[in-house]
Amino acid sequence: MKIDPLLLHVQGCVERGTRRLQEASFHVSLNKNGYNHSDLHMSSITQCGRLLWMKLHGKPLAEDFDTRTIRIFDAGHMYEDYVIKLMTFGGAKILSRQQEYREFEIFAGHSDVVIDYEGPAIIDVKTMNQKRAWEFAKADLQEGFLDYFIQVNLYMSYQGTRNGLLLAYNKNTSEITARRVEYNQERIDFYKRKAAWIVAAGTFSEVPDEFSEYKRSQVLAQEDVCCTCPARTTCYGP
């Protein structure tokens, strides 16, 4: 097959440009002011505490995002901007964008948008394929979408409000589904304790079992999430 130099050049530009999306200072859609890859993020606090400790301390993980995955994440930022523009055109009063919340110095998060609705209300925008969006519309958020549920709950806690919504943008149909996020103080307290332990721990083994998925006796069981964890080798050894 004859090599097309133009095709190779354009494909190369796309791949190199995609790799640049991983840089904290560069996003096609929105410059995430204050985003720090060395922080412990509220959006991922439901993950295994050992894994989060390793990510926080730069331990080697068997994890690498391909360029397609990077584009998916960045496209989500563009859809976020689009949905917030629709809200603005529709009369929503925007109080802040990318409001930062921070505790223990490095436990941090940024809400997509805070609007004025009888006081501040947290709005977080997620993009989903059709199957995921259909599940979102009817699922118990605390079971099927726990990471999103906890993320918004933490934002509400730090913002000092009981008003929080998740908006799901269906990439297949452009439908937008809104779900109220119920404030849950017990869950908030649990994940704040988890963050405090991860920040204070000297090694990943010091993270209590209640905050991790560590189950040495079940490491080879198919149902054990440790089997596919990118930190498995570091956590258990070769």
Given a contact cutoff of 8 angstroms between Cβ atoms, the answer to whether 44 and 37 are in contact is no
Q: Which of 229, 197, 21, 182 is nearest to 107 (CA)?
A: 197
Quick check: is 219 in a domain? no
Average pLDDT, the chain: 78
Q: For the chain, what is the domain count?
A: 1
Q: Which of 86-90, 118-122, 135-139 is the least confident region?
A: 86-90
Residue 63: what residue type?
A: E
Percent of the chain with pLDDT over 70: 74
Confidence of residue 64 (pLDDT cuts 50, 70, 90): low
pLDDT at 55: 85
Confidence of residue 184 (pLDDT cuts 50, 70, 90): very high
Q: Which residues pair with 120 in a beta bridge?
A: 116
Q: What is the mean pLDDT of residues 144-151?
A: 93
Quick check: is 217 in a domain? no
Q: What does the alpha-carbon distance between residue 114 and residue 127 come to, in Å, rounded to a whole number?
A: 18
pLDDT at 15: 59
Residue predicted with more confidence, 7 or 84? 84
Quick check: is 60 in a domain? no
Q: What is the mean pLDDT of residues 114-137?
A: 89
pLDDT at 230: 77
Given a contact cutoff of 8 angstroms between Cβ atoms, the answer to whether 98 and 34 are in contact is yes
Chain segment 188-229, per-residue pLDDT in tens: 999 999 999 988 888 888 888 888 876 543 444 444 667 777
| Element spanning 229, H or E | none
Quick check: is 43 in a domain? yes
Q: What does the alpha-carbon distance between residue 164 and residue 141 come to, in Å, rounded to a whole number?
A: 13
Quick check: is 200 in a domain? yes
Confidence of residue 179 (pLDDT cuts 50, 70, 90): confident
Given a contact cutoff of 8 angstroms between Cβ atoms, the answer to whether 187 and 155 are in contact is no
| CA–CA distances in Å: residue 144 to residues 65, 127, 209, 224 | 24, 15, 22, 18
Quick check: is 82 in a domain? yes
pLDDT at 158: 92
H helices of the chain, in order, are 5-20, 49-56, 67-89, 130-138, 141-144, 146-159, 185-200, 232-236
Q: What does the alpha-carbon distance between residue 61 and residue 65 come to, in Å, rounded to a whole number?
A: 12
pLDDT at 9: 57
Chain segment 3-47, per-residue pLDDT in tens: 655 555 555 655 565 566 555 444 444 444 444 556 788 888 998
pLDDT at 91: 77
Quick check: is 177 in a domain? yes
| Residue 1 burial (10 A CB sphere; 0-12, 13-18, 19+) | exposed
Whether residue 148 is predicted with pLDDT greater than 70 in this model: the reply is yes
Q: Which domain holds residue 107?
A: 5-47+66-212
Query: Which CATH number fits the domain that encloses residue 193?
Result: 3.40.1350.10
Residue predicted with more confidence, 204 or 58? 204
pLDDT at 161: 92
Quick check: is 222 in a domain? no
Q: What is the mean pLDDT of residues 179-196?
A: 92
pLDDT at 165: 85
Residue 37: what residue type?
A: H
